[in-house]
Amino acid sequence: MDQTADARRSLRRLGHILIVEDDAVLALSMEATLIDAGASRIEICHTTEEALAALRRARPAVIVLDIQLADRDDGWALAELVDGLGPDRPRIVFSTGAPERIPTEIAELGPVLTKPYAPADLVRAVGTRRPRGFLSRLRRTAG
């Protein structure tokens, strides 16, 4: 079965998606891509401060995170914070032009999309669920 088609079906059920991206044109393009793929609720934040405020208001299902933002160049620290929210934390998808700047242990928190990437890559990354079974948790702990 087609991974993109599966991801589109999953997007319809996801709920809230948070895009953290300081390039307004790119953020709107990402939003349009995800809406076209079936996402129903998307919130865009342009700074780390806005993203933290959004996380206080509601917990999204997925965060699409640029790591170099206008207010901070360590946006990956937000992913580290989100990881501390426990097993039901939002899934993280990194969207960056500098994947080498993400510390290795942080990059393991979610797929890393290197800009520029195809819209289908974003749909697959956001719509694909991470494994939550015992073996996947054991692998992550042992890794």
Average pLDDT for 13-33: 94
Q: Label residue 90 by pLDDT band (50, 70, 90).
A: very high
Compare 139 and 69 and report the one with higher pLDDT: 69
User: Which CATH number goes with the domain that contains 44?
Assistant: 3.40.50.2300
**Predicted model pTM:** 0.85
pLDDT of residue 130: 62
Per the structure, the count of domains in the chain is 1
pLDDT at 2 over 80: no
Q: Which residue range forms the structural domain that includes residue 90?
A: 3-142
Average pLDDT over residues 108-118: 95
Cβ neighbours around 137 below 10 Å, total: 12
CA distance 69 to 80: 16
